[in-house]
């Protein structure tokens, strides 16, 4: 696929969420540019294509499970429209599992 037909997006995982994604903290994606991608659609894509194990520890319904914080370009997704946020070229989406230990 030519670059112009793809949308580069970076996914980052932290707080242990990376363990479910092949233990990789950063994933560089090229999403097909043929449609609009919302976070909702990204999550579906991740469920089908990216998660390596135990999806129930990450997803819940059409969202992420309680205790996982989603950040769009280092901002809480709640301020960005959550599932409906339209992903832009070169966006960085982070999935941080909250830590409880001490």
Partner 1 sequence: MDALNFLSKKEEVEKEINELKSQIEEKKRVLETLVSNQNKHNLTNWEISRYSRQILVPNIGIKGQESFKNGKVLIIGAGGLGCPAAQYLAGCGIGHIGLVDYDEVEENNLHRQLLHQENSIGTSKVRSAAQALRSINSHIKVDEYPVQLNSLNAIQIMQSYSVVIDASDNPSTRYLVNDACIMTKLPLVSGSAVGMEGQLTVYNYKGGPCYRCLFPDPPPPNTVSNCGDAGVLGPVPGVIGTMQALQAIHILLESEGVLSSKLLLFDGADTKFRTVKLRGKSAGCVVCGENPTITRLIDYEQFCGAPANDKHAAVNLLKPEERITVSELRTALKEKGKPVVIDVRSKTEFDICRLPGSVNIPLADIEKQSAQNTLKSVISKSPNPNEPVYVICRRGNDSQKAVKKLRELMLLNQDFFDVRGGLHAWARDIDHTFPIY
Contact positions vs partner 1 (CB under 8 A): 14-16, 19, 25, 53-54, 57, 65-67, 69, 71, 74-76, 78-79, 94, 96-102
* Dist. CA 91–CA 59, nearest whole Å: 21
CB of 98 to partner 1, least distance (A): 7
* Dist. CA 45–CA 40, nearest whole Å: 9
CB of 1 to partner 1, least distance (A): 29
- Whether the Cβ atoms of residue 39 and residue 8 lie closer than 8 Å to each other: no
Query: At which residue do the structure tokens 């970076």 appear?
Result: 10
CB of 91 to partner 1, least distance (A): 14
């Amino acid at each position: 696929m030519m670059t112009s037909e793809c949308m580069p997006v970076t996914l980052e995982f932290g707080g242990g969420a990376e363990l479910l994604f092949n233990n990789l903290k950063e994933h560089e994606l090229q999403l097909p540019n043929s449609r609009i991608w919302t976070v909702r659609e990204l999550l579906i894509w991740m469920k089908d294509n990216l998660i390596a194990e135990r999806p129930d520890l990450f997803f819940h319904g059409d969202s992420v499970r309680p205790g996982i914080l989603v950040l769009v370009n280092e901002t809480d997704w709640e301020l960005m429209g959550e599932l409906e946020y339209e992903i832009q070229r070169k966006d960085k989406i982070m999935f941080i599992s909250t830590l409880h230990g001490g």
